[in-house]
């Protein structure tokens, strides 16, 4: 099984397309942990994930001021942005554990701030600047489900 996949995204549109492919494969209970510097495309990737889950990507915005945006649908999407998180205690005050243990998909921006609070079985996606437009997207599977997801994503991208 493939545990890691490295992708070069030449444009924000491609980052969104990669997110959409991920979104098409998600199911209830999945956790996607995102990390990367400010402006690397985390929210762009989440827009793609939402589109792949059949949400209107234009509704997706960074929830930096509210910490969580909820998108209701047959498979709910919970978009958590921890950029402004002051402490791990604040994480639990917003009901984080209920989201993680729920039946929706949870996508967490700035997940590296609370690495120990991310479930052992999750898909980590790290975004890095290469230049003004290009990004390196590194996906790391933690668990069999996510290894299969990475394998399928690799097949869809390169075959």
Prediction pTM value: 0.92
Q: Is 43 exposed, middle or buried (0-12, 13-18, 19+ CB in 10 A)?
A: buried
What backbone torsions phi and psi does residue 2 show, to the nearest 5 degrees?
A: -90, 125
pLDDT digits (tens, 9 = 90+) for 105-153: 999 999 998 888 999 999 999 999 999 889 999 999 999 999 999 999 9
Domain that holds residue 49: 4-158
Q: Count other Cβ atoms within 10 Å, centred on residue 27.
A: 11
User: In this structure, what DSSP letter does residue 117 have?
Assistant: G
* Element containing residue 79 per DSSP (H, E): strand 77-81
pLDDT digits (tens, 9 = 90+) for 58-106: 777 765 567 888 888 889 999 998 888 877 788 888 888 999 998 999 9
CATH number at 117 reads 3.40.50.300
The total number of structural domains that make up the chain: 1
């Amino acid at each position: 099984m493939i545990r890691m996949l490295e992708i070069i995204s030449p444009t924000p549109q491609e980052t969104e397309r990669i997110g959409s492919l991920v979104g098409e494969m998600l199911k209830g209970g999945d956790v996607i942990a995102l990390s990367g510097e400010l402006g690397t495309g985390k929210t762009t990737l989440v827009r793609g994930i939402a589109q792949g889950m059949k949400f209107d990507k234009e509704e997706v915005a960074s929830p930096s001021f509210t910490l969580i945006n909820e998108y209701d649908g047959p498979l709910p999407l919970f978009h958590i942005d921890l950029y402004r998180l002051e402490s791990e205690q604040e994480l639990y005050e917003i009901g984080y554990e209920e989201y993680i243990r729920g039946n929706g998909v949870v996508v967490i921006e700035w997940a590296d701030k609370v690495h120990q609070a991310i479930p052992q079985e999750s898909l980590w996606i790290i975004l890095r600047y290469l230049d003004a437009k290009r990004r390196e997207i590194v996906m790391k599977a933690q668990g069999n489900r996510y290894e299969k997801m990475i394998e399928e994503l690799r097949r869809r991208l390169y075959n």
